[in-house]
Structures are given as C-alpha cells and as structure tokens.
Amino acid sequence: GDSVTQMEGPVTLSEEAFLTINCTYTATGYPSLFWYVQYPGEGLQLLLKATKADDKGSNKGFEATYRKETTSFHLEKGSVQVSDSAVYFCALSDRGGTSYGKLTFGQGTILTVHP
C-alpha cells in the first residue's frame, strides 16, 4: 500500500539557518505530493503541492521538488524564522487508488527555530 516516510525529528535550528526535511514515498500509481504544516493547537494548513514528476511546489519561501526517480519530495527553505516553528507533514494522494483524494501522511517532523 501507499506510505510516506519523513526524516526523524525533532529538528532544531537557529534563525536564518537553512532547512531540509526529507520525505520519501511508496505508491502504486502516480501520486500528487503535498506538504502540510500544523501550528500548535491548530489543524493542518496546506503549504505546497506538486502533481507530477519534476514539478516544484513553492510557498512562503518553502520549496519542494517532485523526484520520481528517487521517490522523494524534500522540503527546503533558505532562511528559517522563529515563526516557522511547527510540525511539518509530507503527504500523498494516489490517483490510482479506490479512495480518490485520500491523503496518506508521514509521521510529521517537529521544527523548532531559536532566535
């Protein structure tokens, strides 16, 4: 079945540091890939997405490129801020599945950014 694996956390960085959160996936079809962010006490917010190989999703300085050859969708940001502290989830939606639009999530990576 479909699965998503994220790098183990938590990740602690200083402000303005470079961020990478690794994500790899297994899917039977041709999935769309997503990054969601969850701030303390809140639900999930869509951060960015990519729907086909080599697509780059970007939003608020975050980027991720859909790499079919390595089945990866790593999240990057060049300069993190304290306000980026949150839990980040990688997810996929497998268009070949019977539950069209069902999201499969990774376990989440906690990011803490210190001033």
d(CA 110, CA 28): 28
- To another protein, the closest distance from the beta carbon of 13 in angstroms equals 20
**Residues in touch with another protein (CB under 8 A):** 4, 32, 34, 36, 42-46, 49, 51, 89, 91, 93, 95, 98-108
57: amino acid identity, one letter: G
User: Would strands 11-14 and 109-114 be described as parallel, antiparallel, or unpaired?
Assistant: parallel
- To another protein, the closest distance from the beta carbon of 114 in angstroms equals 22
CA torsion 114→91→54→9, rounded to 10°? 30
Q: Looking at beta carbons only, is 9 or 67 nearer to another protein?
A: 9
Q: Looking at beta carbons only, is 43 or 115 nearer to another protein?
A: 43
Q: Looking at beta carbons only, is 80 or 90 nearer to another protein?
A: 90
- To another protein, the closest distance from the beta carbon of 31 in angstroms equals 9
- To another protein, the closest distance from the beta carbon of 115 in angstroms equals 26
User: Would strands 75-77 and 19-21 be described as parallel, antiparallel, or unpaired?
Assistant: antiparallel
Residue 53 makes CB contacts below 8 A (sequence gap 6+) with 66, 67, 68
Q: Looking at beta carbons only, is 48 or 113 nearer to another protein?
A: 48
